[in-house]
Amino acid sequence: MQTIHPLADMTRWSNEVIASGSTIALVPTMGYFHEGHLSLMRLAKCLADRVVVSLFVNSLQFGPSEDLSRYPRDLARDSRMAADEKVDILFVPTETEIYALDFNTRVSVCSITDTLCGKQRPGHFEGVTTVVAKLFNIVKPHIAVFGQKDFQQLSVISKMTRDLNWDIEIVGHPIVRAEDGLAMSSRNTYLSSEEREQSLCLYKSVQHAKTRFDNGFTDAELLKSEIRDIILANSGVSVDYISVVDKDNLSDKEVIDSNSVLALAVIVGQTRLIDNYFMGSDTEISK
């Protein structure tokens, strides 16, 4: 595995690969790898000839009171893990190269960013789409792989890619869960042992939704009420949002069907966690 820092070196490498007739898959990350990240890398290796994993903690997607300064970072650890997965390139750009002092451009996707995490975190998705657009232009991938845990992010990036006519295939990977059912996240490292136990209310909520839908239940408002009770039964946990939305346009659903997604965000102690369930699907809750 080769580690590349300068943007120009990354683009030069990509141009050479493309000229040779090979394909490139990109896995954008903010680092502090876990099994979820590694699963994305493995999928990328199955889809393209060469794999680039980018590692960049994107300041533009963090709000003023969010966890940018304490977001977990360990480049040496991440480099070992990526090398073990035999990816071709670990691309680690610097903040000053990605966002020069005179950087004044933003890429914005409207409508589907006004709900769920976008509603609770103003400016977040503009930060996401801006950095992903830059990564696409620098790396020039044929395929980009993202996790479905960040369901809204995947939807927003897919929409941006279609709207801007990028010839890039966006691929989503099902949620990867720990043995106890908690969706893998770098932020899980913030949780104390007690908070970790409390956070399992997310997995219990997903299991409850699956059982209800499998048994023919379709009332979205009642399901959300039931899930709220499951979550708030845990002291120290508060609800950010509980929503049932259309998987394509993220609009609220009153009647649950196979095109619906249960989307959840909670605060456990000081840590914000998200989860989701594609109604009628088994893969999103498998461990």
Q: How far apart are CA 197 and CA 194, in angstroms?
A: 5
The torsion region of residue 140 among left (phi > 0), alpha (psi -120 to 50) and beta comes to left
Place of tokens 């989701």: 276
User: Could you list the active site residues?
Assistant: 37
In Å, how far are 210, 237, 241 from 249, measured between CA atoms?
Answer: 21, 29, 17
**Among 164, 192, 189, 152, which residue's Cα sits nearest to residue 275?**
152
Which residues on neighbouring strands pair with residue 275, listed in sequence order?
Answer: 264
DSSP β-ladder status, 271-278 and 260-268? antiparallel
Please report, as a single letter, which amino acid is at residue 20. S
Alpha carbon 129 to chain centroid distance? 12
Contact between 25 and 48 (Cβ < 8 Å): yes
Write down the H helix ranges in 48-150: 75-84, 95-98, 116-120, 124-139
Alpha carbon 287 to chain centroid distance? 17
DSSP string, 15-47: HHHHHTT--EEEEEE-S---HHHHHHHHHHHHH
